[in-house]
Chains A and B, each alone.
Chain A
Amino acid sequence: MDRSPPPEGSDTSAEPPHDTLLANCRREMGWSLLLWVVCFIWVIGYCGLFGYQVEGQETSIVLGMPSWVVWGICLPWLVAVLFSTGFALWGIVDDPLGENPEQEKPTQPMEGPGSHHG
């Protein structure tokens, strides 16, 4: 993935080209939604097939839990955490966010911010 963090120690005050951040955000949104779709199909599919039991059916136990919880919820949850971690570490770009308006302002008491937009 195209991930280019700024040099160590650089601040985020430099104005980024917006289309780059926007493009990165859209790509990251796609991956996030893909994770949701995969988890949705896995969790709802597995639990729908094996977690809704007919009366009297015996529940098998794995790791102290009903097996449908382990394979239909614990495992996808673990995968989701690992994916989120990996994606946050290597998939999300360290885009500069733009100038911090609060840091630009004088530190002495001043007049109200006024009608700066819209």
Chain B
Amino acid sequence: MAESSNAALITFLIYTFAVLALAVLSSRVAKGKEFVGEYFLGSRGFGVWAFALTFAATNASGGTFMGFPALIYTHGWTLALWIAGYMVLPLLSMGLIGKRLNQVARKTNAVTIPEILGARFESTQVTLVATLLLILFMFFYLVAQFKAGGTILSTLLSGEPAFQAAAATVTYAVQDIPWLNQASGDYLVCLSVFGVSVIVYVVYGGFRAVVWTDVMQGIVMFVGVILMLYLALSQVGGLGNATRQMALMTPPEPGTATIRISEPLETDLILPKGSWIKDAGQAYRLAELTLIPSGSEESAATKILRITTPFEIEKIESSPLIQDLIQKNGLEVSVDVEKLRPYAYGANQPGVYVSNPGPSAGSSLGFLAFGTAISFFIFWPFGATGQPGNMVRLMAFKDSKTLRYSIITVSVYYAIIYFSLVIIFCCGRVLMPGMEIDPDRAMPDLAARLTAAAGTPWLAGLLIAAPFAAVMSSVDSFLLLVSSSVVRDVYQRHISPDAPESRIKRLTYLVTVTVGVLAVLVVIKPPTYLQDLIVFATGGLAACFLVPMLLSLYWQRMTAAGAIAGMIGGTGMHLGLTWWGYYVYNKFEPYELLGLNPFIWDILLSTIAAITVAYLSKADPRHFQKYFSGN
């Protein structure tokens, strides 16, 4: 583990250096070019590889390499159906609006999404509403990704002595500083390093640097996944073997227990989180750090996970610390189970990991109920089409040929990446039992295990750079989206239309740094429902922009009032269902009306509102002439 952690540190340093070098190079290329178009859109000149990989990398966020593996591990093959919508995502998200959006953006000289919507109708109100909604949702997303970046880096470097020393120093240094002292030292160090490196290269290099680093990150992700696939398949004895074993598995049972030793010790006995204890033919894993105080024979009630699959129980051995207690001290270690909570769906049901809906700890309908599967097949491709981060890239490709070849590249890229991840972490389920105690560690732990078993621990650095690359490529894009909206759509449009380029430049740098620092400060103490905020922001952005953009580009009868109604309708439904969900479930989770994803209802209301209001308002014939007539 120390070797892999050391490899992670070296990889991270090389990686950060490469990212900053790309920013410097990008800044040199940009010299002499018109600032706004170059900084926010790379002068609309990106070719196939740059465009395809920035598109692919931006869509693959931290969730792809942390959350998605955790879900595969926890629920099994059903995740293949969950992610199946990605098979049509490249063609839909690029093909539906790509050429037309690029054409209208060139015609209007727009560099942001609010700007192109406003320009289409010559309406400052449309720009303003779009800007406000974009900044609102995007900031939630940015905050969540910064937190993911800090957490991933902290996970990667956790075993590195130099890092531990730095973390301890920071913990001591900030102990009296309000707000900062609420975070642990290791997280603060990682968040700062991550935040500073991203902000610096985005500020220095702009969109071109973001795209170039996305290309590098896209390659890192691809190579990492392919290597991991090979190692996982070879170590599990082939995919068929993994699936056959999964078909016999039954979900574990989380619960609480008291850990007992036969005689008290003179010192405290600390059993780390993740320790295995075999007792009376059962296998238990500690889900939290457990303490048996000196002079005592038992711990307080502690969280455990009981494995229920017989062949897994046979393979598991007690952790070395427990074995030492038994063999060297002659103690007996036992687990006195107080309470177990069988899964709501799939308990004691072999086959549940190789079929739908997959096991679920909390829902009696299983992980992927049929209605949810339908929803996700709609949400992935259409939700991606409605993301401003994707739209803005569609404004930056060089020509139609670039778009055509990028569709091919991203189609193949996603098919390989996502399907490989499903296979890798199904193998991971067989290789590493009991990861349900901390499923988000599935990726780094499997990388460390696979490379150690293959005798190549240095490879772990490359493998675990993939999730870091994924988060970085998302953060940079969204940081630039927010700053471009503030500078271009608010300041340049509403405050100082004739501002000189030098002032725009300084303001852009200032806003990018301010937004980045603000996001870092917010995530020092992240909101409670962070993951839910990501879902909220992603769904909200698509609900807000998909229908108004589609209708603005393709429907000549569309009006400014219709566009505003579409944005507000989609957003309103999104907020309404979120509020309803909070009211019903008492947590930050949108209500699934008729069992369908809220996105479907958001889009439905957005469409009805946009079309109804467009028909009730008058379309400007000049817009038809300009955008639809062919003259």
- Which residues of A pack against B, CB within 8 Å? 5, 12, 16-22, 24-26, 28-29, 32-33, 35-36, 39-40, 43-44, 47-48, 51-53, 55-59, 61, 63-66, 68-69, 72-74, 76-78, 80-81, 83-85, 87-89, 92-103, 105-118
For A21, list chain B residues within 8 Å (CB).
99-100, 103
Given known A-B contacts A28-B95, A95-B99, A118-B121, A102 and B628 have beta carbons under 8 A apart: no
Question: Are the CB atoms of B497 and A97 closer together than 8 Å?
Answer: no
For B44, list chain A residues within 8 Å (CB).
100-102
Q: Least Cβ distance of B530 to chain A in Å?
A: 30
- Contact digits for B122-163, partner A, Cβ 8 Å, 1 yes 0 no: 111001000000000000000000000000000000000000
Question: Are the CB atoms of A81 and B411 closer together than 8 Å?
Answer: yes
Given known A-B contacts A59-B351, A118-B122, A97 and B106 have beta carbons under 8 A apart: yes
Which residue, of A17, A61, A112, A117, has the highest number of chain B Cβ atoms within 10 A?
A112
Question: Are the CB atoms of A84 and B91 closer together than 8 Å?
Answer: yes
Query: Is B84 part of the contact surface with A, judged by Cβ < 8 Å?
Result: yes
Within 8 A of A (CB), among B87-136: 87-88, 90-92, 95-96, 99-100, 102-103, 106-110, 118-119, 121-124, 127
For B355, list chain A residues within 8 Å (CB).
51-53, 57, 59, 66, 68
Which residue, of A20, A39, A81, A107, has the highest number of chain B Cβ atoms within 10 A?
A81
A-B contact pairs, 10 of them (CB 8 A): A16-B103, A29-B95, A33-B96, A47-B84, A53-B356, A59-B351, A66-B77, A74-B419, A84-B408, A106-B34
Interface size on B, residues (CB 8 A): 88
Question: Are the CB atoms of A108 and B357 closer together than 8 Å?
Answer: no
Question: Could you say which of A33, A58, A101 contacts B106, with CB atoms under 8 Å apart?
Answer: A101
For A64, list chain B residues within 8 Å (CB).
238-243
For A95, list chain B residues within 8 Å (CB).
99, 103, 400
Residue of B nearest to A17 (CB): B630
Question: Could you say which of B36, B41, B628 contacts A18, with CB atoms under 8 Å apart?
Answer: B628
For B553, list chain A residues within 8 Å (CB).
25
- Contact digits for B348-390, partner A, Cβ 8 Å, 1 yes 0 no: 0111001111000000000000100110011001000000000
What 7 pairs across the A-B complex have the smallest Cβ distances? A64-B239, A19-B630, A102-B37, A64-B240, A115-B497, A118-B122, A53-B355
Question: Are the CB atoms of A44 and B88 closer together than 8 Å?
Answer: no
* Complex alpha-carbon distance, A116 and B351, angstroms: 63
Given known A-B contacts A68-B355, A69-B77, A88-B408, A55 and B501 have beta carbons under 8 A apart: no
Q: Least Cβ distance of A69 to chain B in Å?
A: 5
Query: Is B470 part of the contact surface with A, judged by Cβ < 8 Å?
Result: no
- Contact digits for B43-61, partner A, Cβ 8 Å, 1 yes 0 no: 1110000000000000000
For A83, list chain B residues within 8 Å (CB).
91
Question: Could you say which of B34, B108, B411 contacts A80, with CB atoms under 8 Å apart?
Answer: B411
Question: Are the CB atoms of B81 and A73 closer together than 8 Å?
Answer: yes
Residue of A nearest to B78 (CB): A51
Within 8 A of A (CB), among B497-546: 497-504
Query: Is B38 part of the contact surface with A, judged by Cβ < 8 Å?
Result: yes
Residue of B nearest to A64 (CB): B239
Given known A-B contacts A52-B370, A87-B91, A102-B43, A25 and B100 have beta carbons under 8 A apart: yes
Given known A-B contacts A85-B411, A100-B43, A114-B497, A92 and B404 have beta carbons under 8 A apart: yes
* Complex alpha-carbon distance, A55 and B346, angstroms: 9
For B242, list chain A residues within 8 Å (CB).
64
For A68, list chain B residues within 8 Å (CB).
355-356
Question: Are the CB atoms of A61 and B103 closer together than 8 Å?
Answer: no
